[in-house]
Amino acid sequence: MSAKAGDNPLNVLKVKMKQLKAENDKLKDDLKEKSAQLEFSQRTIDTHCQEIQSLTRKISMLEEVIMNSEGGYTHAAEKLEEVNKLSKAADEIERERKVLESRNVADDEKQHMKEAKYIVGDEDDEQIDALEQELKEAKYIAKEADRKIDEVKESQKSTLNCFSSCCKK
């Protein structure tokens, strides 16, 4: 501001002081406003940091759950593979049992035919004894096959239960 000719230096200083005081007050207000904005920003940052920490903990927990699930899945897959092998073995045993049963039926038919002819001789007695022994063995093998099939079925049930419980997790 330019000084007027009639203004004395004291008036000029007073005007200058008023201007500086107004400017100082304006700067103080700006400082308060900026401080409030800074404080709000700091609270927002703190809130976001807490949210990030919370999400990081959740991610860690989920990763742990995934790792546990993968282990359970691997275990269930191994059990399922074992059940498939046992199932194939049971099928093979069942096939063998049927072969033995059909062999027994054929042997029984031969036995009946011999009895019908009333052929009795030492050789026939020996053959009958051998056939009876084969029949006993065939019956034993058939019983073992049935027992193994039952075991495989039980194992398969437990593995499927284990697999389904792992899948639910």
Q: Which pLDDT score, from 0 to 100, does residue 3 have?
A: 47
pLDDT exceeds cutoff 80 at 119: no
Question: Of 130, 80, 92, 138, which is closest to residue 110 (Cα–Cα)?
Answer: 130
Q: Which pLDDT score, from 0 to 100, does residue 14 have?
A: 93
Specify the higher pLDDT residue, 46 or 7: 46
Q: How many CA atoms within 13 Å lie on the side-chain side of 143?
A: 6
Q: Which pLDDT score, from 0 to 100, does residue 6 have?
A: 55
Q: Which pLDDT score, from 0 to 100, does residue 115 have?
A: 67
Q: Is residue 4 part of a domain?
A: no
Specify the higher pLDDT residue, 54 or 136: 54
Phi/psi for 121 (5° steps) reads -150, 170
Q: Is residue 98 part of a domain?
A: yes
Q: Is residue 126 part of a domain?
A: yes
Q: Is residue 2 part of a domain?
A: no
Q: Which domain holds residue 39?
A: 9-168
What's the whole-number mean pLDDT along residues 23-50? 95
DSSP code, position 3 = P
For 59-85, write each residue's pLDDT tens digit: 999 998 888 888 778 887 888 888 888
Alpha-carbon Rg for the chain, nearest whole angstrom, is: 49
Write the Ramachandran bin of 47: left for phi over 0, alpha for psi from -120 to 50, otherwise beta. Answer: alpha
Residue 159: Cβ-neighbour burial (10 angstroms; 0-12, 13-18, 19+): buried
Q: Is residue 104 part of a domain?
A: yes
Report the domain count for the chain: 1
Question: Of 111, 158, 161, 164, which is closest to residue 135 (Cα–Cα)?
Answer: 111
First to last CA, the chain: 81
Q: What's the predicted TM-score (pTM) here?
A: 0.39
Q: Which pLDDT score, from 0 to 100, does residue 27 have?
A: 95
Question: Of 152, 145, 148, which is closest to residue 79 (Cα–Cα)?
Answer: 152
Specify the higher pLDDT residue, 53 or 105: 53
User: What is the rounded average pLDDT for all residues in the chain?
Assistant: 83
Residue 94 and residue 144 in contact, taking contact as beta carbons nearer than 8 Å: no
Q: Which pLDDT score, from 0 to 100, does residue 167 have?
A: 67
Tokens of 1: 């501001």
Name the one residue in this structure whose structure tokens are 């546990």. 68
pLDDT exceeds cutoff 60 at 20: yes
Q: Which pLDDT score, from 0 to 100, does residue 152 have?
A: 86
In angstroms, the CA 88 to CA 159 distance is 15
Residue 163 and residue 72 in contact, taking contact as beta carbons nearer than 8 Å: no
Q: Is residue 140 part of a domain?
A: yes
Q: Which pLDDT score, from 0 to 100, does residue 168 have?
A: 67
